[in-house]
Amino acid sequence: SAVISQKPSRDICQRGTSLTIQCQVDSQVTMMFWYRQQPGQSLTLIATANQGSEATYESGFVIDKFPISRPNLTFSTLTVSNMSPEDSSIYLCSASGSDTGELFFGEGSRLTVL
């Protein structure tokens, strides 16, 4: 298993600003992902964080809005840029190190954009 720490756990941000969320895994993992979860809804994959190279983004998400870094196997950041109230959501870091694809999740970062 893997323990994933995310920070900040929550934040209230002003429209037009940017916020970076950090994700630290306690062991080396092969895959790291960033998800978004609107209240009462399921998980939406934003991107796969690739070590040492550009992240792989899902349809509807772009690098300019959600730049992602992954400098090593245990750490990644997600930035939510030029925020608007529509970006208010929970952002979850997850990681997988097993062949079965089992995911472990961080506790999430709850962002509120005013």
Partner 1 sequence: GQNIDQPTEMTATEGAIVQINCTYQTSGFNGLFWYQQHAGEAPTFLSYNVLDGLEEKGRFSSFLSRSKGYSYLLLKELQMKDSASYLCAVLDSNYQLIWGAGTKLIIKP
Among residues 47, 76, 108, 111, which is the contact residue for partner 1, using CB under 8 A? 108
Q: Is the dihedral of CA 6, 37, 57, 105 positive or negative?
A: positive
Closest alpha carbon to 32 in 111, 105, 100: 105
Interface stretch with partner 1, choices 13-21, 60-68, 70-78, 95-103 (CB under 8 A) = 95-103
Site string for partner 1, 32-61 (x = CB under 8 A): --------xxxxxx----------------
Distance (Å, rounded) from C-alpha 32 to C-alpha 27?
12
Where does this chain bind partner 1 (CB under 8 A)? 40-45, 92, 100-108, 110
